[in-house]
Every structure is written in structure tokens, then in C-alpha cells.
Amino acid sequence: MAPLTRRRLLRAVPALGLGAAALHATVPHSHGTAAAAEHEGAHAAGDGAPAAAGHGGHAGFRGGEVDHRANGFDPHEIIRDFDWGTTSKLPDGRTLREWTLAAAEQEVEIAPGVTFAAWSYNGRIPGPTLRAKEGERLRIRFVNGGRHPHTIHFHGIHTAPADGVLGLGAGEIAPGASTVYEFDALPFGLHLYHCHVRPLAEHIAKGLYGAFIIDPKDARPKADELLMVMNGFDTNYDRANELYAANTIGFAYAERPIRVKRGELVRLYLVNVLEYDLINSFHLHGNFFHYFPTGTSKKPVEFTDTVMMCQGQRGILEMRFPHLGKYMFHAHQSEFTELGWMGFFEVVD
Ligand SMILES: [Cu+2]
């Protein structure tokens, strides 16, 4: 039998009328333990839910549910969860803002019945959305609780020793060791952080990344703020993704749309960390948004309904929904959409 690839999977998915068991059997993946193999056998024996009709004709992976509680995080909480850390005053009167991030290894159920041997910061993927104000002093204590060396490399303006790469400052942090990264919150905008240990693609694709927001001194207008980190998972370690998502769990926002209010300003912080694919995108139905690339200006550069991003690119999208109802958003690479990266806004009064 020819090896299962993402493209073969795509052809197979709609025809199967997927339930969780079908997906589990179809997505190439490995558990790596005897107990897990038994679990897989149980699936094959038919505990899967009946085939679920796709949402609006999309090839749904549904028919089962991801256990967010077992994962320890829920994309519906991550989307509005901004971590301001703890603050104190420095002798010069500036604010010092501090966090502790710990790397760990954990199994994450990324689609119903499909587990992935992930690496995480603070037990979630993406890691905590660190948020600060322009010009503050930031101090991040990093504890490596994993079995491999890791770092945190922050995007932003800082000194070389704080860069979180091999050979600079503390360099790679060994398992069980820790370090402190310290720098000023500059420039304002939407940034990211990720592990920078080789092989880099694997260290990122395993889940070691998160968003990092620096608010301008004169704050942006009040809005309903959302965070999406576009990612994917290579479940069979062939350096191609089998599943795609925003905030890790494919179709999470299709199963339960993101509620927003009609007429209210919605500000979406959008980061692309997708590994192995050259480009990713975000497309919104039934509406347009103002786009602020990297969030480093308060003047939008575009009024559009689609943005494209390479890995590491990010931007702020601002929109108001004039009409009630459900509006889809998804990658405009259709195959990413069909493999998980889609959802809905539900506009209510
Ligand atoms: Cu790493």
C-alpha cells in the first residue's frame, strides 16, 4: 500500500464521510506505546461515532470531540486569554513585568482520537499570549522541563545575549536547567516567541511557540480582542502537515463559533507559525477588515478580506460586523481548510 500522504488523505476524507474513528484510522500518526496501540485497536473495533456530515459541505473531522480538559487547554479560552504577567516598579520608576515559562512534553489530542506527542510552553499550544506595554522592562524566567535542550527566542528589539539562540547568552538550556531573558518592550506591535534549538523545524512544529503583544503607549481603541496562532501538525513526522488549525484544534471554532457583537470593533491578533508549508492565509466571509502588518503602526495599510503570511509573519485585523449571522473564516488554501483550518464568527446583538 502506498504511504499515506496529506494529499492522499485529502482525497480520502470526503469519501469516507468521516467519524472520529475514520479520521483516526486515516490520519497517519503514531502513538509509540503498546497501550496506545490497544486503544487504536478499540477504535478500529467500532467505537467511533457515526459519520458526521460536513459543516456546510466541508469535510468535517467531526463525529467525536476533542477532550480539551485532558489537553489542559481550550482554544475557546486561548482566543481571549492575554497574560499580563506580574508587575513591580524598578528604582527608576519604570514597570518591570515578569513571567515564568516552562517547557514540557505532553500528549495533545489535536483532532478527535488523534493524539500528538507535543512540546509546550506552560502546558498549552500556543504558549501563553504575553502582553506588555511599550517601553516596559520585561523579564522572562525560562525553565526547561523537557528531555531536550530548548530556548525562548523572542521577536523584538533586544541585546544579543537575550536572543535565545545557540552560542549567545545562556545559549541552549539543558533539560532541568533554567535561565532568564530580559529586555525592553520594543517596538509596539504583534510579535511572537518560539524555541530556537536545532533541528529548528521540529522544535517549532512540536508546539514551542506563542504570541507576544506590545501595546503602544497611547493605547489602541477599546475592542473585543482575539488571538489566533495559525499552526499545523505533522502527525507522522514526514515533514508535511496532516492537520491545520488556528490555536491548535482544527474545526474548534466551527463546532462552536466565536461570538462577537454586531457593530462592535473586533481586533484580531493573527500570527502564522505554520512549519513545513511555505505560506498560510486568513480569509473572512461577508466582511472586510483593516490590516496592520506586524501591528507596528496604528495606520492600516489595507482594507481587504484576505491576508497571506509566511512563517513568522503576523498582523492585526480590525473589523466590525454590520449583519447578524454566521461568517466563515479560513485559510484560502482550500486544502488547509479541509484539514481543519476553518471556523465561524457568530454575530449577535
Ligand atoms: Cu526546543
Q: What is the CATH number of the domain that holds 184?
A: 2.60.40.420
Interatomic CA distance for residues 175 and 172, integer angstroms:
10
If you measure from the C-alpha of residue 177 to the centroid of ligand 1, how many angstroms do you get, rounded to a whole number?
Answer: 13
What is the Å distance from ligand 1's center to 203 Cα?
4
State in Å: Cα 202 to ligand 1 middle.
Answer: 8
**pLDDT for the residue numbered 7:** 55
Return per-residue pLDDT of the chain as tens, 349 residues: 445 456 555 554 443 334 344 444 456 554 433 333 333 333 333 333 333 333 333 344 556 889 999 999 999 999 999 999 999 999 999 999 999 999 999 999 999 999 999 999 999 999 999 999 999 999 999 999 999 999 999 999 999 999 999 999 999 999 999 999 999 999 999 999 999 999 999 999 999 999 999 999 999 999 999 999 999 999 999 999 999 999 999 999 999 999 999 999 999 999 999 999 999 999 999 999 999 999 999 999 999 999 999 999 999 999 999 999 999 999 999 999 999 999 999 999 9
The pLDDT of residue 65 = 87
Q: Which residues of 180-216 are buried (b: 16+ CB within 10 A; e: fewer)?
A: ebebbbbbbbbbbbbbbbeeeebbbbbbbbbbbbbbb
Is residue 56 assigned to a domain?
Answer: no
- Confirm whether 3 is domain-assigned: no
Query: Would you say residue 190 lies in a domain?
Result: yes
Distance 199 CA to ligand 1 centre (A): 8
Half-sphere exposure of 148 (CA within 13 A, CB side): 17
| 33 lies in some domain | no
pTM of the model: 0.86
Could you tell me if residue 307 is inside a domain? yes
Q: What is the DSSP letter of 31?
A: -
43 within domain boundaries? no
Q: For the chain, what is the domain count?
A: 1
Q: Domain limits at 175? A: 63-348
Q: Are 331 and 342 in contact (CB under 8 A)?
A: yes
Please tell me the distance from the alpha carbon of residue 86 to that of residue 24, in angstroms, as a whole number.
42
C-alpha 146 – ligand 1 centre gap (Å):
9
Q: How far is CA 269 from the centre of its chain?
A: 11
Assess if residue 323 is contained within a domain: yes
Q: Can you spell out the DSSP letters for 76-95?
A: HHHTT-EE--EEEE-TTSPE
Whether residue 29 is contained in a domain is answered as no
